[in-house]
Amino acid sequence: MLGSILAEKRNENNKFFLFVVDNYFKGKELAKRIPVKPEDELMFIDVDPYEPTTEQIDSIRDTILKKKGLPAGVIGIGGGSIMDIAKAVSLMFTNEGSSTLYQGLNLIKKRGIYHLGVPTISGTGAECSMTAVLTGPVKKLGLKCDWTVFDQVVLDPDLLATVPQDWWFYTGMDTYIHCIESETGRFKNAFSHAYAEESLKLCKDVFINEGCGKNAENDEKLMIASLMGGLSLTYSEVGVCHALSYGLSKILGTRHCYANCLAFNHLEDYYGDSVQEFKQMLKKHNIALPQNLSKDWTDKQITDMAEVAYNLPHMWNHAIGENWKEKITIDLIKGLYERL
Ligand code: NAD
Ligand code: ZN
């Protein structure tokens, strides 16, 4: 199917595709099914242990341009990391200079090249969101604009079959947290609510209701939950948990979905019953999150994380209100990290 979708796009630019594929699939059955032609470029990318960086995106763009010029399109096959790499590279093929120049809202000047995503692990919503999150030398922040969104997405829940249990849980919880945060803040609206409500129903089927657990039927539900959760947050906003999670990722390199779980577990005063429900889901799936992590962190690390989190005003504005600076201070955020 992918082959026929791509056939009509092949004649653009220098008439070849760049495939960026999660290294997990190298040598696996899926890799043999990718419709790569001799003129195409196939890159297997190891997404562990680091999340996508600005340097990595610039390097992929420069290497391909030097070798073959401008591709007809970029195809991403993998999880949130690969989705973001494909989205960012597509934009950087047509926007000059380093991707660090474009971290933020609507800083991209030109539409990118055609890009298509095939998610292989569900939860981040990166397959439908209008941001490509990158870690740069100064900040962890997305290239966010209307052109970031994939031109096409192919959803095949069978691809989730091999996702390990822990990643299945953490990444699935990212969707759950997207919906809870989207729902509990001032940017909530009828559109974001409709998607969050449906996504949460699906998440509960996958993670807590009778018949929950990892199986083919639930993989299909999770794939749709991820998409709907991503749409919900795109038109609303994320909140306190994601702000803390960004600090953990930027300073300690903790992976996004796992960082969210670590933080959400201690945010009962912000997200009440949902945190209780989250704890039930942890128990149900035998997931043990580490405790007392902060005892091994230096005060400088905690301060640095608090500063990263504080500098995400859109999240605090959503979660706490326009006057959030009267309530949220660096010291308060440090206190939140110290709970972990
Ligand atoms: P990931 O892409 O980092 O992959 C996690 C692990 O799962 C990796 O080891 C990968 O090799 C493996 N994997 C992927 N598919 C697999 C499969 N089918 N079978 C077996 N293993 C598989 O994970 P993720 O949690 O989806 O993505 C995290 C990234 O997403 C972070 O970089 C984060 O910043 C980003 N993110 C982006 C958005 C957005 O809107 N753009 C939102 C949230 C998170
Ligand atoms: Zn998230």
- Split at pLDDT 50, 70, 90, the class of 178 is very high
CA distances from residue 110 to 116, 146, 159, 185, 327 in whole angstroms, order as listed: 18, 11, 33, 32, 39
Q: What is the pLDDT of residue 51?
A: 85
Distance, CA 203 to ligand 1 centroid (Å)? 18
Strands 140-144 and 131-135: antiparallel
* φ, ψ at 135 (rounded to 5°): -95, 125
The ligand placed nearest to the CA atom of residue 85 is 1
Q: What is the pLDDT of residue 160?
A: 97
- pLDDT tens digits, 103-121: 999 999 999 999 999 999 9
Q: At 6, list the tokens.
A: 């791509």
Q: Which of 47, 140, 145, 242 to mutate to test the pocket of ligand 1 (most atoms within 8 A of CB)?
A: 47
Instruction: Using the predicted structure, report yes or no on whether residue 288 has a pLDDT greater than 90.
Output: yes
- Split at pLDDT 50, 70, 90, the class of 150 is very high
Q: What is the pLDDT of residue 47?
A: 94
Contacts of residue 110, defined as CB under 8 A and 6 or more positions apart, other chains included, come to 94, 95, 147
Q: What is the pLDDT of residue 146?
A: 96
The ligand placed nearest to the CA atom of residue 140 is 1
CA distances from residue 325 to 105, 115, 235, 236 in whole angstroms, order as listed: 21, 39, 23, 20
Instruction: Using the predicted structure, report yes or no on whether residue 307 has a pLDDT greater than 90.
Output: yes
**Average pLDDT of the segment spanning 317-322:** 97
**Average pLDDT of the segment spanning 52-81:** 97
Distance, CA 253 to ligand 1 centroid (Å)? 14
Shortest-distance atom of ligand 1 to CA 123: 26
Instruction: Using the predicted structure, report yes or no on whether residue 140 has a pLDDT greater than 90.
Output: no
Shortest-distance atom of ligand 1 to CA 82: 2
Q: What is the pLDDT of residue 1?
A: 84
Average pLDDT, the chain: 96
| Percent of all residues in the chain with a pLDDT value above 90, rounded to a whole number | 96
Q: Whose CA is nearest to atom 38 of ligand 1?
A: 126
**Average pLDDT of the segment spanning 203-230:** 97
Q: Whose CA is nearest to atom 25 of ligand 1?
A: 171
Distance, CA 177 to ligand 1 centroid (Å)? 16
Are 131 and 144 in contact by the 8 Å Cβ rule? The answer is yes
Query: What is the rounded distance in angstroms from the CA atom of residue 221 to the CA atom of residue 207?
Result: 11
Q: What is the DSSP letter of 53?
A: B
